[in-house]
Structure 1
Amino acid sequence: ATRGPPKSIDFTDDLEINLFDGLPFSSHALVKNQLVVLSGMAKTGRSTQIPQWCAEICLSAQYQSGRVVCTQTSRQQAVDLALCVADEMDVNIGHEVGYTIPHETCCSSDTILRYCTDDMLLREMMSDPFLEHYGVIIIDQAHERTVCTDILLGLLKDILLQRPELRVVVLAIPPMTDKLLSRYGSAPLISVQASTPAGVVHSNSGNKDYFFSALRLVLEIHRTKEEGDVVVFLASNEEVHSAYTILQRECTRLGAELGRMVPVVLCPVQGRLVPVQTEQQGATGCRRVFLSTQQGEDMWWPTESVNFVINTGVQKKLVYHPRIRANSEVLRPISQCQADVRKQLSGPTGKCFCLYPEDSKLSAENSPQILESNITPTVLFLKRMEIAGLGQCDFIDRPDPEGLMQALEELDYLAALDDDGNLSEIGIIMSEIPLDPQMAKMLTIAAMLSAPSCFLEPPAGMTHEAVQCHRKFQHPEGDHFTLINIYNAFKQCQREQYLSAKKWCLGYFLDHSALKTAESIRSELTDTLNRIELPISEPSFGTKTNTHNIKRALLAGFFMQIARDVDGSGNYFILTHKHMAQVHPLSSYGAQAHKLGLPEWVVFHEYTLSENNCMRTVSEISPQVFLRIAPVYFFYNLPPSESKDILQDMLEPDGASKQNDETQKATAVDSDANGGCAVVTPTYDRCVIQ
């Protein structure tokens, strides 16, 4: 069937008229339609004015259908927008307007408009699958194509059928708006016109030397003495930190007549962009140079001061490969969608320098993250939603079948599925815990791995001192145990108060905010486990029994991430996909390999295909314990290798022939509510959560 063009409503300028006070066309659109698509670039007020207008509509209906929630793709954006809107509405934050982000809630029973990250709204669906608390749901930044936003859009299509009174507003920019209109049929389109974009200057040369070209351009801009801050979009976090170091050095060589120039790193930390604070920020005659990656494109910029944007046109992304269960780092061009967003940041009087030719062929829209990520947690969540009565998720872009099969296989290995492919009791427990399924059995380790890295990068000339400080926490059993050492020492410092925790962290080159985040994550996990009445073992860190139990808990989740040193020199063979890797230089093993030697068998947390193919967060394991923990149906499906033969000999020392598949399965899986440890023999000790 064909349809006519979408009903279109145009607003000009940048929404200077407050929609909270009412605009007749937009109000009519939402009253008469369940779903409205709004097209608007950055700096149009879409994320502040539209939610206020929706709150007014709910207020006029006396909240009979519920209140308003607006999703964001980053934590910082959710907090900043809530603060801005509360100020515009002249109300107190946490009352009429609030926010919810991971590990932090600022809301009350009076909250009528709530900003939250898209993953938090998904978590809310665990207890309220049809989101009946809300009358209007606003999905902002849909063009960023995060996994959580795509799932929300897929599930909302079914929820709208179940709740005719619900209203949904999707905020995006072209070409995502075109895709949404073709998907939802008769939805009206509201177009918000931005002010005239900045002047754009393209480079005619290729962008092979984009990094140094960008830095040279920063210095040239500063020498012109034109006022305004500069935003530089680089490809990766490593490039951002390198640029910061170089610009800091160059700043000392600038003449006093040019004024101060201060580089500011915007670090992506768990969904936030954290600026490095400096004394010069905001000072008269001081130019800030913001250094960021693609995570900073749609953030809450100080747009009144930004006058120059330098767009390198490339980005480094991690792309997940289901077949080898690993990420690879790839350098690729940005999309035209990203380029358009960046052009808007400097406003009509500014300039945007694109370090690539104007005729470069950029992809039209952002690539969906759901096509490039490990979707095992996503499949676990969707299985939980099936129990709640929601139908199949209507994906905008359906995940690759290989990725779906690998996710289902991994959940099966973890005993999260029953024989019919539905969630088992263990799977339901895993879905309640806001972690990757593999980490659902280790509280402190999971908290430390889920938080940002706790290790600070030392200042120039202090690397040796930082290494010596970090060595004091190193544990002979491996990096996972080192993380527990650091966490326990941090907690002890807090209890004894012999030194402020911030000063203690600074003295040991540790990140205080990262450790506070880990503390918050662990507290939240403990509350979740108490709520679902799941027992937690008493901590007895340092004992042999506890060490053994921690390793068993690690293997219960990460039995697919086992490697063996094949030549005694640190060349590790990864059993699941036959790739070779080395231990990361910052690992405790990497630092003391010359003294203690490297373990033969290890379990690792993360492996990335890159120039050096390093494994991060590595601990020694016993192959005998691996054989007891790993599910039989996983072990016998391992690809052939010398390492597998060694394990096979341990399993069958007399060389007896393998049992048939039915016998293997009969001896394979026994589990309890505390861990679901699948083992090779019918007698074993049970795993508990620590």
Structure 2
Amino acid sequence: MPSMASSNSSDAAKINQGTKSDFIPRRQKIEQHRKNLPIAAVEKRLLEEVSNNDVLIIVGETGSGKTTQLPQYLFNGGFCRNGGIIGITQPRRVAAVTVAKRVAEECGVPLGQKVGYAVRFDDVTSSSTRIKYMTDGLLLREALLDPYLTKYSVIIVDEAHERTVHTDVLLGLLKTVQKTRSQGASDMLNNDHSKAENSMLLAKENDGQCTNVEKHRRGKKLSPLKLIIMSASLDAKIFSEYFGGARAVHVQGRQYPVDMLYTYQPETDYIDAALITIFQIHLEEGPGDILVFLTGQEEIESIQRLVQERLPKLPESKRKLLVIPIFASLPSEKQMKVFMPAPIGFRKVILATNIAETSVTIPGIKYVVDPGMVKVRTYDASTGIEPLIIVKTSKAQALQRSGRAGREGPGKCYRLYPENEFYKLKDSTTPEIKRCNLSNVILQLKALGIDDIVGFDFLEEPDRMAIIKSMELLFLLGALTDESKLSDPVGHQMARLPLDPIYSKALIVASQFNCLEEMLIVVAMLSVESIFYAPREKLEESRTALRSFSSPEGDHLTLLNVYRASEEFFEKSKLVSGNEKAEKNLRKWCKENFINSRSLKHARDIHSQIRKNVEQMGLRVTSCGDDMLPLRRCLAASFFLNAALKQPDGTYRALSSGLMVQIHPSSVLFRMKPECIIFDELVRTNQNYVRNVTRIDFLWLAELAPQCYALQE
């Protein structure tokens, strides 16, 4: 059993939430809850600060109520008086959606009217929306159509401490937009625009039909933009300095005392230490659920199995422990189990990835077990590989995790490392912009008219080599000209699609290969979390189910088969039972076939949205039917940078990087070893693996991508 030392490091005051009887109407309970939030005490002061400062940084601890309440305070304070919108960005779509639903309920309005949300492939807003939650990436895309974001009076960048690549780029863009709007825009009509157009815009405005953008094209003065940066990290200095010494204010969170317990010695096996600590808490501590942070699905399923194996060995009265996993690719109906209270007399132990750090709040947690590790995706510009590696958490992450034990009452956090190790951790996580492929970011910036990428005012400079490699990739895909400008039409078309550049290219090429219908499905399926769900206890059954969809040509065609089979099943079911019953039947079909119904639904939504996108762009949506040769050739013409050739020893050499790789065990081609393949992604776990693989003819590469490959004599 890990020997733990106690260190009570929580200095936050305990705040009495108060309790109300169950018969009080829900509306009254909601109002009481809002009044009890720590941020309610400083509502007036916050409105004054926003009025007096064009840029304001708010540091608010988790649980303070800043995300749900501040937009409502601003709305009630008149910041939407002239029809402007309060926009709130979130790094994760799950947060944007769930918070918007909560705020709509608090306001007593249907979602999509006064309060709405917009995330990639899902827009629940209307012309009456005044409080709009969205992902930071979506606001970046809005800037393509409206460079000055004229419909927004206030923009709140929430969870800025997470430092996602979209957040960092958005801050750079907003810095320019905010400055321009504060100064007021000059006449944006080019000199060669006729007086007739100006008169036409004036006439439209007089008729009340003139849009914001058109008003500003007539040279009207842009209204100032209020910009609020919200962070849960106590270090606001980097944001304040970036915005020229902007004012920062602190909002106290609701945090009960949390006892910190450390091990006396470093743990050689944190999985084993976590397992022992779960039973230590269960057998020795009072009531309350346990939240254990792990790095991924494999670790979670391993501990889940070990806990369930050991439970029968405990005295019967001590066996009431319910193990519930939560990770991104878990089907949504299984994810929802973490929010359900445990049966009377039972204790829940929730095994979670870092999805539980900030994205979701799980009620009932009193004990947190933190091994101090996290899995992150990094990018090596020299090889193009994006390995998933396990690293130590930052101090900021460790604090977020421990805070989960003190949301509803005093709690305990078991850190599975010595206390002196905590002080050696990095203060915050390395910003994503320093560890990701920048090709999508560069494409977006080019589309916004920002051609000098190196000179862009980033919060922190990305690696110069990463910029160069990403520019090379875009050039080879045909998105950039020799002068590094967006090409016409391919570069502009790619920028219009809310997808990874390679996927955008695949759709554009597919219209020429007469297989756009099939490529739309493939791209939609590649854009979601794992489609197949293979629980360890039913591994053989899930493999048998997968074989029924498998294509001997590879994974892309297998995904196409799954989608087509699900659509055929759904349409037949709809004819017999109607739409609602058909949806229910489809979820049952997914379960029987070990398919993640949440991922499949998301893929169907994405398919619908990107189909509209390509149709608006004028691309021909045609099908190659059952002849998969055009689709495979199209994959080679789009994914040519992700090609690999079989070597004499059975491994593969990735042609663009020279790296030795292996086909991932989850691939239908894992045992087949075709001569030449294209792949969707290259990841490093214990080895270099290529995932989502399709068989191609080696000679196609020189034919379809001569800019990259030439036939050797």
Q: State the TM-score, normalizing by the size of structure 2.
A: 0.81
Specify which of 428, 438, 447 is matched with residue 384 of structure 1: 447
Q: Which has more helix, going by share of residues?
A: 2
**Alignment CA distance shift 1:61-1:210 (3 Å):** closer
Specify which of 518, 525, 531 is matched with residue 454 of structure 1: 531
CA distance in 1, matches of 2:315, 2:699: 66
Q: Which residue of 1 aligns with 2:430?
A: 367
Q: Which residue of 2 aligns with 1:238?
A: 298
3-state SS of paired residue (1:346):
helix
Of 96-105 and 244-253, more deviation after overlay is shown by 244-253
User: Do the aligned residues in 2 keep the contact of 1:570 with 1:583 (CA within 8 Å)?
Assistant: no
User: Do the aligned residues in 2 keep the contact of 1:337 with 1:364 (CA within 8 Å)?
Assistant: yes
How far apart are 1:112 and its partner, in Å?
Answer: 1.6
CA distance in 1, matches of 2:362, 2:541: 37
Q: Which residue of 2 aligns with 1:670?
A: none
**Alignment CA distance shift 1:82-1:315 (3 Å):** same
User: Do the aligned residues in 1 keep the contact of 2:265 with 2:418 (CA within 8 Å)?
Assistant: yes
Q: Which residue of 2 aligns with 1:330?
A: 389
Query: Are 2:473 and 1:410 equivalent residues in the alignment?
Result: yes
Identity of aligned residues (%): 30
Specify which of 616, 634, 642 is matched with residue 561 of structure 1: 642
Specify which of 684, 689, 692 is matched with residue 609 of structure 1: 684
Q: Which residue of 2 aligns with 1:55?
A: 75
Query: Are 2:712 and 1:648 equivalent residues in the alignment?
Result: yes
**Alignment CA distance shift 1:301-1:200 (3 Å):** same
User: Do the aligned residues in 2 keep the contact of 1:71 with 1:116 (CA within 8 Å)?
Assistant: yes
User: Do the aligned residues in 2 keep the contact of 1:228 with 1:307 (CA within 8 Å)?
Assistant: yes
User: Do the aligned residues in 2 keep the contact of 1:445 with 1:484 (CA within 8 Å)?
Assistant: yes
Aligned length in residues: 615
3-state SS of paired residue (1:457):
coil
Specify which of 307, 313, 325 is matched with residue 247 of structure 1: 307
**Alignment CA distance shift 1:456-1:548 (3 Å):** same
CA distance in 2, matches of 1:273, 1:614: 30
Matches within 5 A, 1:28-39: 28-39=48-59
User: Do the aligned residues in 1 keep the contact of 2:375 with 2:390 (CA within 8 Å)?
Assistant: yes
Matches within 5 A, 1:220-619: 220-258=280-318, 260-269=320-329, 275=335, 277=337, 281-303=341-363, 305-347=364-406, 349-360=410-421, 361-386=424-449, 393-425=456-488, 426-440=490-504, 441=506, 442-458=519-535, 460=537, 462-497=538-573, 500-536=585-621, 538-543=622-627, 547-567=628-648, 570-591=650-671, 593=672, 598-619=673-694
How far apart are 1:26 and its partner, in Å?
Answer: 1.4
User: Do the aligned residues in 2 keep the contact of 1:38 with 1:190 (CA within 8 Å)?
Assistant: yes
**Alignment CA distance shift 1:23-1:611 (3 Å):** closer
**Alignment CA distance shift 1:388-1:46 (3 Å):** farther
User: Do the aligned residues in 2 keep the contact of 1:36 with 1:189 (CA within 8 Å)?
Assistant: yes
How far apart are 1:139 and its partner, in Å?
Answer: 0.7
Specify which of 57, 63, 82 is matched with residue 43 of structure 1: 63
User: Do the aligned residues in 1 keep the contact of 2:329 with 2:530 (CA within 8 Å)?
Assistant: no
CA distance in 1, matches of 2:338, 2:238: 43
3-state SS of paired residue (2:287):
coil
The code of the aligned residue for 1:190 comes to: V
User: Do the aligned residues in 2 keep the contact of 1:562 with 1:602 (CA within 8 Å)?
Assistant: yes
3-state SS of paired residue (1:297):
helix
Specify which of 32, 43, 47 is matched with residue 23 of structure 1: 43
**Alignment CA distance shift 1:302-1:483 (3 Å):** closer
Q: Which residue of 1 aligns with 2:24?
A: none
Of 411-420 and 125-134, more deviation after overlay is shown by 125-134
How far apart are 1:271 and its partner, in Å?
Answer: 13
CA distance in 1, matches of 2:114, 2:261: 44
**Alignment CA distance shift 1:160-1:65 (3 Å):** farther
How far apart are 1:331 and its partner, in Å?
Answer: 2.1
CA RMSD of aligned residues (A): 2.7
Matches within 5 A, 1:134-213: 134-164=152-182, 165-174=224-233, 176-194=235-253, 195-213=255-273
Specify which of 79, 85, 88 is matched with residue 70 of structure 1: 88
CA distance in 1, matches of 2:468, 2:328: 31
CA distance in 1, matches of 2:654, 2:669: 17
User: Do the aligned residues in 1 keep the contact of 2:405 with 2:411 (CA within 8 Å)?
Assistant: yes
How far apart are 1:61 and its partner, in Å?
Answer: 4.6
Q: Which residue of 2 aligns with 1:669?
A: none
Q: State the TM-score, normalizing by the size of structure 1.
A: 0.84
Provide structure 1 residue ranges, at least 5 long, that are not aligned to the other structure.
1-9, 637-646, 650-690
The code of the aligned residue for 1:166 comes to: L
The code of the aligned residue for 1:250 comes to: R
How far apart are 1:107 and its partner, in Å?
Answer: 2.2
CA distance in 1, matches of 2:332, 2:42: 33
3-state SS of paired residue (1:241):
helix
**Alignment CA distance shift 1:68-1:251 (3 Å):** farther
CA distance in 2, matches of 1:105, 1:575: 40
3-state SS of paired residue (2:387):
strand
**Alignment CA distance shift 1:285-1:214 (3 Å):** same
**Alignment CA distance shift 1:458-1:196 (3 Å):** closer
3-state SS of paired residue (1:423):
coil
How far apart are 1:72 and its partner, in Å?
Answer: 1.3
